[in-house]
Amino acid sequence: LYEDDDLVVINKPAGIITHPGAGYEEHTLVNALLYHCAGKLSGIGGVSRPGIVHRLDKETSGCLVVAKNDAAHIALQRQFMERSLEKIYLGIACGELALDDGDIRAAIARHPTHRKRMTAMAGEKGGREARTSYRVRERLREATLVEAELHTGRTHQIRVHFQHLGHPLVGDDTYGARQNRLFVQLTGYHPPRVMLHSWKLAFIHPRTQRLLPCEAPIPDDFKEAVKALRQ
């Protein structure tokens, strides 16, 4: 989507792991970036995560910014920490949301028994502050197309927060297996993945100090899901 000597913003396809981890050493986004950038990526993330300022889940598509040098990495990291970036996602949630817009404030922590999952902890001590605001873009058949803005950046935040609302994302068996089984029974539609897309990302460029807005085109599988679920 954008590239210069300091950074690259990519439109990550669904199905690709961001960086190497347990069981995923090859065919990751980092492997592709190292090749594309001829090894010129920030070293702050270490050997396994060069240039990676933030990440997207394997099944999430869309905007992701990568730093090519340490100065850019530090500047971008600061914006993420200060929450001064704009991060807007599109998602399809199971069921019909009661409100046309809302603000979800529920701390997020590691699940006490399922260590690969996170959990919302509204009204409880513990966990890290998390906030997601949303607005309904279109009401679909047994589902709702939403635009969600991240004000914090916790692991699986949008997925956990919509589960917390009682409307997990379509295709998300980790955080909404029961609702998704019902969704498939009611609609006959089988989602190919978690229906979440990192649509817009805007930040201050580390070198020019100008706002850099980026937008990732909506992928075909997401468009097809919306089309299939229209009333």
Residues with catalytic annotation?
57
CA distances from 140 to 18, 75, 81, 160 (A): 31, 40, 35, 21
CB atoms within 10 A of CB 125: 7
> Measuring CA to CA, which residue among 48, 51, 28, 19 is closest to residue 38?
51
What the block records as the tokens of 165 is: 């609302």
> Can you give 77-143 as a three-state secondary structure string?
HHHHHHCCCEEEEEEEEECCCCCCEEEEECCEEECCCCCCCEEECCCCCCCECCEEEEEEEEEECCE
**Are 94 and 176 within 8 A, CB to CB?**
yes
Rounded-to-integer distance, Cα 216 and Cα 208, Å: 22
- Rounded to whole angstroms, how far apart are CA atoms 160 and 91? 13
CB 35, CB 25: distance < 8 Å: no
